């Protein structure tokens, strides 16, 4: 009997771990295309925060990949038993710092004091985003906590007014803007219900080769050769600091790069290294 009891406990632990490790079903953004998404008045628009996306499951934070985020108890104790979607964020152009804080297994209370949870959705498949926006705004207002913020959504009736807002926030260092289709009910996966508009595009690829530098980069990295998930291979030779050229991203690591559209051959135009993607 003791052995059976132990086995049941073990199975329970394994099953629970498997459930927590499952990748949550979240809404993912497509890229805004003026020719396809011209009806700006149908969208609610907000700043795109360069932080770590965090899903509050009702009892813990997890990443898009389903990995646990170890936040301090004071940070989460007042959050309700409802599903929230948002971004753990410090301030503009501070992604590396917040990523380091969030990836720490044992949370540092002092570091987390600078982090805010920017709530941008309260997923519910039965109601449109316009109502979900009202719901999460009211929830955050009721919580009245300095580290829990409701992302403000804006309405625009023309492309010109959207462009003005976009230029305003990106000039101040914002990563871009997000467009939520106001009438869309929540559905996981990549969808036209959520669009991103950035001054540049970014994507990920795996490092497959280091190419030696020449001239002032003699003895250092000249470029990395990368491979995308659909098998495309190309070189990235800009965006690296001298420190990164002396100690380049490891072969097999995943990097994020930025680019400006595609060439006639379908390859990223003006690809530039942005950062190594840390596992989350």
Q: What DSSP letter does each residue of 16-43 carry, written as one string?
A: HHHHHHSPP--EEEEEP-TTT---GGGE
For 79-121, what is each residue's pLDDT tens digit? Answer: 999 999 999 999 998 998 999 999 999 999 999 999 999 999 9
Of 118, 120, 119, 123, the residue nearest 184 (C-alpha): 123
Task: Output the pLDDT for position 280.
Answer: 64
| 165: helix, strand or coil | helix
Q: Give the N- to C-terminal CA distance of the chain in Å, as an integer.
A: 40
User: What DSSP designation does 152 have?
Assistant: P
pTM above 0.75, yes or no: no
Task: Output the pLDDT for position 34.
Answer: 74
Place of tokens 């600078």: 114
Instruction: Specify whether the CB–CB gap between 193 and 129 falls below 8 A.
Output: yes
Task: Output the pLDDT for position 3.
Answer: 45
Task: Output the pLDDT for position 269.
Answer: 82
Q: Which residues of the chain have pLDDT under 50?
A: 1-21
Report the alpha-carbon distance of residue 143 to residue 77 in Å, rounded.
11
């Amino acid at each position: 009997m003791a052995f059976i009891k132990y086995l049941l406990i073990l199975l329970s632990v394994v099953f629970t771990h498997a459930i927590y490790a499952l990748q949550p079903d979240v809404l993912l953004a497509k890229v805004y295309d003026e020719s396809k998404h011209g009806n700006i008045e149908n969208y609610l628009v907000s700043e795109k925060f360069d932080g770590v996306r965090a899903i509050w499951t009702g009892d813990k934070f997890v990443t898009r990949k389903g990995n646990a985020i170890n936040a301090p108890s004071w940070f989460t104790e007042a959050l309700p038993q409802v599903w929230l979607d948002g971004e753990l964020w410090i301030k503009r152009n501070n992604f590396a710092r917040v990523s380091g804080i969030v990836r720490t297994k044992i949370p540092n209370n002092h570091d987390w004091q600078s982090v805010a949870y920017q709530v941008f959705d309260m997923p519910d498949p039965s109601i449109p985003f316009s109502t979900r926006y009202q719901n999460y705004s009211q929830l955050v207002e009721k919580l009245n906590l300095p580290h829990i913020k409701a992302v403000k959504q804006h309405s625009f009736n023309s492309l010109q007014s959207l462009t003005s807002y976009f230029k305003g926030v990106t000039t101040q260092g914002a990563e871009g803007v997000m467009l939520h289709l106001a009438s869309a009910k929540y559905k996981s996966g990549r969808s036209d219900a959520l669009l991103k508009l950035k001054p540049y595009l970014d994507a990920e690829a795996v490092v497959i080769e280091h190419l030696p530098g020449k001239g002032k980069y003699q003895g250092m990295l000249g470029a990395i050769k990368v491979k995308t998930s659909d098998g495309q291979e190309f070189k990235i030779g800009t965006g690296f600091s001298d420190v990164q050229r002396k100690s380049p991203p490891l072969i097999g690591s995943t990097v994020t790069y930025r680019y400006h559209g595609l060439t006639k051959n379908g390859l990223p135009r003006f690809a530039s290294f942005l950062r190594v993607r840390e596992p989350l």
